[in-house]
Chains A and B, each alone.
Chain A
Amino acid sequence: MRFALIGQPNCGKSTLFNQVAGYKAETGNFTGTTVTYTESKVRIQGVIVELVDLPGTYTLTGTNPAERETLRYLASHEVDLIINVLDASHLAQGLTLTLELLELGRPLLVALNMMDEAGRMGMSIDGERLQALLGAPTAPLIASKGRGVRNLFVAALHAAEKRLPPQRPHYSPALEQAIHILAANLNGNRRSEAAGAPADPIQKAAAVPLPPLPLAIKLLEGDESLLQQVALARPGVEDLVASAQAQVMQSLGRPAVWALSSARSELAEELAAQVVRQGERHYTWRDRLDDVLLHPLWGYLALVLILLALFQVIYGIGSATEKPLLAFFDSLAVWVETLSGGSALLGGVLYGLLQGVAGGVAIVLPYLLPFLFGLGFLEDIGYLPRVAFLMDALMHRMGLHGKAVVPFILGYGCNVPAVMSTRMMEEPRDRFLAATLATLVPCAARLAVVFGLVAFYLGPGVALALYLFNLFVIALTGRVVSAMLPEDTPGMILEMPVYRTPTLKSVASKAWFRAREFMVEAWPILIIGSVVLALLNYYQLTDYLNVLTRPITWALDLPGEVGVPLIFGVLRKELSLIMLRQALGVEDFAAALNAVQMVTFTVFVMFYVPCLATLAMLKRELGWRSMLVIAGLTVVIALLAALAARFVAPPFL
């Protein structure tokens, strides 16, 4: 049995999913946290149910890839029950999606989430009345506190077992006529009455498990990917759809997609008016907070202070934990040396292995985990959209808009989720530009290089200067690239969620979820890379690689041995620092590199080719071509920036 969780952005689907699925979905008080679907098996009263968490969407005919995922899923998978999660404090708007889902004729259960918030806003909601009006079961829920979750799933199981298809909402006669004629035409003039009718040949041929009427509605609304899917099986369908759309245009004077969405939203308003009783609204700190945090002066001051505090805390925790951990691994290294019993090969391999493990534990986690905690905290409170609001004007100067600030902030943790989050942007142009700039953001791995080399040997002031220099280069790149790309987009459209109190459980699980992803993907490569380098060293093959990279290292006035760490840095950026120690054959970097060389090296590492995992994500999101363009571009930027650093930095050091 399979249940699909569907709801509008930020309605708490993923929170609900996590309550039962043991933390597999990312949640956040922010639109578009779930960009692809997540599946999990749950057991309800002895029955194993496959639960699918789909990205939040305002409508099934969405405009960005994350939103299209929902219809694509429903149009290609059998689902026994749709659990439609609604933000009860914004019932009318949520119900527009519910009506659209009811059209599909699949069994549906409405979960009225955030009942506590609705209460705070002075609303009382009559769930039973809504159940009667919709003809679909409803269940109250406060997913963030886990209240009502059990009852919800028991009700869901009952609803799925009964398999009752809900009533389809009916719209104006003109619309209904167009829908029915199109549905009949799709099936070669065979009139199909009920929404729940068995799949007709057209559905089978096109592999679209939607009954005729819903299919007709979606085509009438002009869903292009669905049209292509159907057109493959039934050529000429484009003309049928176009004539149905023309018919609506003629009788109603506006496009079918407009007519349908107004019809739904009117019906939703009527429904909400019947079940919501609005009482006195209780004003709380939540309502007053934006007066400060979005204030033209205090807002920016708060932003700077918040980011500064985040930076300070990460640096504080990171440097305090890194030293003892490294000392621990150093003592292990001595032990490994005695263990290998004089065999240089075994000793080298073991030492490489240890370096890889130590790199993951002692360098990455002290910085990554605190960062993820801080980010999760800001995300759950609902601060990130405020940052987008404040930063919109600035982002416009880089050819982007405020929404792109999220890939940026995520990028400081890891470029992989940053590239992934560009999906919530509508225009391909914006996605490409945001992804390009996000890969230039120094992630936690590069943070390790900056802190381990520059901050440790030259002081935190120089590290901060490098971060500012990095921002400058990103802004410059944004300007140049956006000037080369065609056409500006209208700009940002973003929902501002109400502030919510984050729970430790949710923040911790999210940090763990992201850290685990990092460890699973990166750590093995890190360890393998270290061992491979140890072997290369043993067989003295590194000289050849260093010759290949010599033009770059020569131009940057770096020792030739730096070539190998740079190549391995593509696997994981922090490798370039770990391997630098091995390649130079020193424990103390100051013995082999002068201050300018440290800065030049770090600047180059900051910008050149994103790591393997990020490259893979770029390929998935934007395709091979864009990935290669971005990779090539970053090498050019890295060279130019590092050259600039080589000649500009000396007077300041």
Chain B
Amino acid sequence: MDLLDIESGKWVRILAYQGGRRFEHRLRQLGLLPGQCARVLRHAPFGGPLLIEVHQRQLALGRGVAARIEVEEIDAPCDSR
């Protein structure tokens, strides 16, 4: 399951992502590490990006980016400080 499949408001745990060294680096810098919890806040219309919250910080990820992030849905909000 990738991040694109997740509905707004749901919590996820990041499992893995692939997309080249620079791409992975970029996500790591922003605190998106495997095992990390995140919440999908909203999807932009017309195939636009999605907005997620990690570490109480909001990130906009383009669909191409979100499609490369493998996640699992989790029930409870985890403490992602």
State how many angstroms separate the Cβ of A268 from the closest Cβ of chain B: 9
A396 and B33 alpha carbons, distance in the complex (Å) = 27
User: Out of A58, A222, A262, which one reaches B33, CB within 8 Å?
Assistant: A262
Bound-state Cα–Cα, A574 to B78, Å: 57
Contact A488 B48 (CB under 8 A): no
A492 in complex: contacting residue of B49, B55, B57, B68, CB < 8 Å: B49
User: Hey, which chain A residues are within 8 Å of B30, CB to CB?
Assistant: 58, 493, 495
Contact B44 A296 (CB under 8 A): yes
On chain A, the residues within 8 Å of B33 by CB distance are 261-262, 265
- Find the A residue at minimum CB distance from B62: A491
B:44-65 near A, CB below 8 Å = 44-49, 51, 55-65
Partner of A278, one of B45, B51, B65, B81: B81
Residues of A within 8 A of B22 (CB): 63, 426
A496 touches B51 (CB 8 A): yes
A276–B49 touching, CB < 8 Å: no
- Looking at B24, B28, B42, which has the most chain A CB atoms within 10 Å of its CB? B28
Neighbouring A residues of B31 by C-beta, 8 Å: 92-93, 96, 265
* Contact between chains at B25 and A492 (CB < 8 Å): no
Chain B's nearest CB lies how many Å from the CB of A500?
A: 14
Q: Which B residues are CB-close (under 8 A) to A130?
A: none
A121, A222, A278, A392 interface centre (most CB from chain B within 10 Å): A392
| CB of A96, distance to nearest CB on chain B (Å) | 7
B27 at the interface (CB under 8 A from A): yes
Most chain A beta carbons < 10 A, residue from B25, B29, B31, B55 = B29
Shortest distance from the beta carbon of B4 to any chain A beta carbon, whole Å: 11
CA distance A429 to B22 in the complex (A): 14
A490 contacts partner chain B, Cβ-Cβ < 8 Å: yes
In the complex, residue of chain B having the shortest beta-carbon distance to the beta carbon of A261: B28
Query: How many residues of A sit at the interface, in one of the four size bands?
Result: 35 or more
**What string of 1s and 0s marks CB contacts (under 8 Å) between A377-397 and chain B?**
000000001001110111010
Find out whether the CB atom of A492 lies under 8 angstroms from the CB atom of B62. Answer: yes
Provide the residues of chain A in CB contact with B21, threshold 8 Å.
222
Q: Does A174 contact B (CB under 8 A)?
A: no
Pair A491/B65 contact, Cβ less than 8 Å? yes
A222–B25 Cα gap in the complex (Å)? 11
Taking CB atoms, residues of chain A closer than 8 Å to B59 are 493-496
Q: Pick the contact of B46 from A276, A294, A393, A402 — CB < 8 Å?
A: A393
| Alpha-carbon distance A96/B31, docked complex (angstroms) | 9
Inter-chain contacts of B56 with A (CB < 8 A): 89-90, 121
Task: Determine whether the beta carbon of A389 is less than 8 Å from that of B64.
Answer: no
Asked if A273 and B81 make an inter-chain contact with CB atoms under 8 angstroms apart, the answer reads yes
A269 sits at the interface (CB 8 A): yes
List chain A residues, Cβ under 8 A from B29: 58-59, 62-63, 261
Chain A residues in contact with chain B, CB under 8 A?
A: 58-59, 61-63, 89-90, 92-93, 96, 121, 222, 257-258, 261-262, 265, 269, 272-273, 276, 278, 290, 294, 296, 385, 388-390, 392-394, 396, 401-402, 426, 488-496
> Can you show 8 pairs from A to B with CB atoms below 8 A apart?
A89-B56, A261-B33, A269-B81, A396-B47, A488-B64, A490-B19, A491-B62, A493-B27
* Apart from A492-B65, A496-B51, 4 more pairs, CB < 8 Å: A276-B81, A389-B60, A491-B62, A492-B49
